[in-house]
A = this chain, B = another copy of it.
């Protein structure tokens, strides 16, 4: 069999994004961790890590990480029967990548049901969907929650429903900037709020109103900050309905164009051979999604 001491060193360096933290996590010296990576590379005759900051796996390194992740998931099933077999004797962890708006809203209910039952600890990563799926492919995460329907090899993708986004602003913002009537052209001339360079929701909303090209916008990569900026009248933006039920009820936020929304479908990607814990988490995710997400509709 493979030497899992060496493979665990590789996985930990990538997961912890550095040799020093990997050493802390493994309870080894930094040079012992380095030694293990070098030994692995000598045996393979090829590098497994690019020594950048943070270290990146090579293509071969990624295939090994993928393997380690799957072995860990399989070990999870046996853990309760044979806890003493685990050399690291640590509580089990599951790593998942997910979109920021889910983590800020409905996701925690699914996580809570799962952790209560299983005692597993969660390593949650917030990633744009392209990166989340890259991490799946590289074996760095056991599952990924994102808007892409296409599963990576060895995984399946489960359609969960959609998050409904409404274009919202404060009444004061509308009164100040949009008193002359609201259409696509008017919206493009007043500041929008955009989560970050990969957030295309505001672009899509304006495109459906016939506006192509650039528009004024702030960047705000925080789900909570985004809502606060909208409440403070700094701009309009697409916000998950789930996140602002109170603000909609008490009138702090209003639709800029009532009746128009964007439904973003969400898919749960998980390894087929992921083991019992991953199956259980999947069941909790499905159940919670059914309660909170909507059936996707076209714009």
Contact = CB atoms under 8 A, between A and B. Distances in A.
Interface residues of A, number: 41
Interface stretch (A38-46, A60-68, A122-130): A122-130
A218 B103 contact: no
Contacts of A188: none
Interface string A224-261: 11001100111000000000000000000000000000
Secondary structure of the A contact surface, majority rule: mixed
A37 B48 CA distance: 32
Nearest to A113: B232
11 contacts: A91-B216, A103-B220, A108-B225, A108-B234, A109-B232, A111-B232, A111-B234, A112-B229, A115-B234, A116-B233, A123-B218
Given A17-B197, A104-B225, A107-B225, 19 more contacts: A25-B214, A103-B222, A103-B225, A104-B222, A104-B228, A108-B229, A109-B232, A111-B232, A115-B191, A116-B233, A121-B216, A121-B217, A121-B218, A122-B220, A123-B218, A124-B219, A124-B225, A125-B219, A223-B223
Interface of A: 16-17, 21, 25, 90-91, 100, 103-105, 107-109, 111-112, 115-116, 121-126, 191, 197, 214, 216-225, 228-229, 232-234
